[in-house]
Amino acid sequence: MTDDQKSIPGDWDALVERPSEVGAARFSAPAPDSHRPPTLTLMASAWADLVGMLTVCTGSLIAILVLGERPALPAFAWAAALGFVWWVFAAAVLIVIRQATPGMLLAGVSFAAPVPPQRVGWVLAAAVIGVATVGLSGIIGVRGSIFRLAAATDVVDGAA
């Protein structure tokens, strides 16, 4: 085995070529309309994020039932908090690695360029706003404007 085969390549998780430098991601001119996702797709990404949260919430309540206990009212709050914490962790990881939240990946959209690390919190906040409004934030402004402002890059069709 040679020395160059002993190291893990920097793009081990990527299916397509993308810029390797996160600092190169700056707010650029809007992509052509053919690459912009429809408004319904952006709304669907918020719905998919909500479904991801509810899946973990439901799974934890089912686990309580399997253990032979009846979930009391406080268990519902804990299950909802668990679902939200799981989603925040998963979304933060996927924003850095795959340039999208879990819901964006399920809806088939992603950011055009890597999200700078200092913007990940803003993207998470934008996604939570999308979930809280049940996707209606995707209607406001230019397609994907809340994500464009948060990530300082365009939202395009096709997951990275």
Interacting residues of 19 by C-beta distance below 8 A, sequence separation 6+: 25, 113, 114
CA distance 151 to 159: 16
DSSP state of 67: T
pLDDT band at 16 (very low <50, low <70, confident <90, very high): low
List, for residues 46-100, the tens digit of each pLDDT value.
999 999 999 999 999 999 999 988 888 889 999 999 999 999 999 999 999 998 9
Residue 19 scores a pLDDT above 60: no
Instruction: Answer whether 114's CB lies under 8 Å from 22's CB.
Output: yes
CA distance 146 to 73: 35
Q: What is the pLDDT of residue 120?
A: 93
Tokens at 145, concatenated: 């404007």
Question: Mean per-residue pLDDT for 114-140?
Answer: 88
User: 156 - beta bridge partners?
Assistant: 110
CA distance 30 to 22: 19
42-56, 83-97, 104-118, 145-159: segment of lowest average pLDDT: 145-159
Question: Mean per-residue pLDDT for 40-45?
Answer: 86
The whole-chain average pLDDT of the chain stands at 81
Q: What is the pLDDT of residue 20?
A: 54
b vs e for 149-158, b when ≥16 Cβ sit within 10 Å of the residue's Cβ?
Answer: ebbbbbbbee
Highest averaged pLDDT of the listed ranges 40-44, 80-84, 105-109, 148-152: 80-84
Q: What is the pLDDT of residue 30?
A: 47
